[in-house]
């Protein structure tokens, strides 16, 4: 099945180096969620959004100047496929933290076992997303 989601790479200044204490983040989410997440992410100081796409496969093919410190990934697929996506991201970017936005709390155990550093419900508030992002980057 072909993914008809447009690839959107959102780059504040991809060609420049990230400031010493700056962190980088990538968003992998459906188009309807990308914009909202990007707006929330851009409110966090010293955090640069380097990629935003609807597909893990496309994300892994991007030639990024900086490896992401954090990848925010939404799960709209069965846990087995989602687990494989997390493993692929962690394989390519082993030092990246992974925040997975889930649909059901029961998904947490299997996705954390696959490498998710934290899960959060997809309906989480902007404040909850910011807190989770800051918590994950603090330990990175």
Domain boundaries, the chain: 23-138
* 10-18: Cβ within 8 A, 24+ apart: 10/38, 10/49, 10/50, 10/51, 10/52, 11/49, 11/50, 11/51, 12/48, 12/49, 12/50, 13/48, 14/50, 14/64, 14/65, 14/66, 15/65, 17/66, 18/48, 18/66
The pTM score is: 0.83
Output 1 or 101, whichever has higher pLDDT: 101
pLDDT of residue 32: 85
Query: Domain 23-138 adopts which CATH fold?
Result: Rossmann fold (3.40.50)
Mean pLDDT value across residues 17-29 = 75
111: pLDDT confidence band, cut at 50, 70 and 90?
very high
């Amino acid at each position: 099945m072909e993914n008809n989601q447009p690839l959107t790479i959102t780059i504040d200044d991809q060609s420049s180096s990230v400031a010493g204490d700056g962190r980088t983040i990538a968003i992998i989410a459906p188009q309807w969620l990308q914009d909202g997440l990007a707006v929330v992410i851009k409110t966090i100081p010293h955090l640069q959004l380097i990629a935003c796409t609807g597909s893990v496969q496309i994300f892994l093919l991007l030639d990024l100047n900086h490896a992401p410190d954090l990848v925010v990934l939404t799960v709209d697929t069965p846990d087995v496929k989602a687990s494989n996506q997390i493993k692929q991201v962690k394989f390519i970017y082993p030092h990246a933290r992974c925040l997975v936005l889930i649909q059901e709390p029961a998904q947490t155990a299997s996705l954390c076992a696959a490498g998710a550093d934290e899960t959060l419900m997809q309906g989480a508030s902007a404040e909850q997303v910011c807190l989770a992002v800051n918590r994950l980057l603090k330990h990175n």
